[in-house]
Chains A and B, each alone.
Chain A
């Protein structure tokens, strides 16, 4: 039993492209001859060599599989960065809501322009993710219908997470309107008001949102990791359309990343203008649960910057390269 685990672990050290070609037969060989720690070291060195061979190899199939793996990792890194950016973005909205910055935006055109840029950037990034992810999602659904039902379940996770957030918001609104009262658990609030001061409910909303984001990201990672097709043909309005799904998603990932960069810059500008116009707000406590506005804003900027850097790193890793031939 222990040797089986070692065998599986060693096998997983090999690059995916190598495993797809040799895993079945290599596993049989390991079953028969993996007896000593020296054998395990030999297999370990073989895995290192396979990675080097894949990077420097001349074999076209291997190179293509390697490129597909890189593209897939890029898409998933940009998607994860986007989700992280969304979480930071919602925190920014929460910070601005009910603060004196909202009325200030009506009289300060530069501040309003920065906020509008953030909003436009968020729409562009969201559309890019949806459009780029659509062929991938359709491919996962197609493969799920062909027999791999688990892929379908994984794709349902983001929708389910969204539903949970909506249901929780509905619950919060019902509490806010006084239709639901849970004495001792949820503080009864004045009807007609969002229970902004109810720490338990706000923490719950944040928890549900973040857990949903994490679950969705993990599910998408898992679902996409199982998809090894680059060319996929779709039937639409009586025509066949062949899409290079990962290459297509890469282009949209570039747009998403640029939109994140624009939003990051616009957020810094918006914060700077707000700070200049209303320094007392930034030195005050308009963060969630009365925490420091300045600390929250800096945290939001840091998260956005890290996510943007992560997306650029992903793009750099997966960019198509000239072979020189």
Chain B
């Protein structure tokens, strides 16, 4: 068998067997590549949450007594945060649905509501940080509490930023077509922010009380 250069650089001739002319220009959910990218980032970041939570449980296990020389964090602001966060599922679902219907007016309204939810949650979160009863540099318990809450806040912030940019975008002349698919993906990411909070909330606020 002789393998080697083909200096004539001849390309294979084409034989057309199908046409893409009538295929749609974009679609929603699993049909859209961006949706898969969002899932990919949610998985990687979810893994980050899982590892931070595992650190927390590991430290509980090696220390035995928990929390270390501090009372458990308060339930008021964290409870309010959780309630508001869960309530945000409803407008988020609307945002996704109206986006898929390509209804511009409703999408604008929903995105404004979601941005306001994000801002409100961020304000509550600031108060939540104030009622932890422990600083990050007090002991390993304080460090890991701030790590988990900080990590979740980072996600809250990035999704809020994303939502605000998208909201502004939908009020400009760019608000049509494929952008409606982006609205759906933004809503999907918000679900991730909500879903990741519930185990973190349980670990941070209830595990120290049950331990």
Task: Report whether chain A binds chain B.
Answer: no
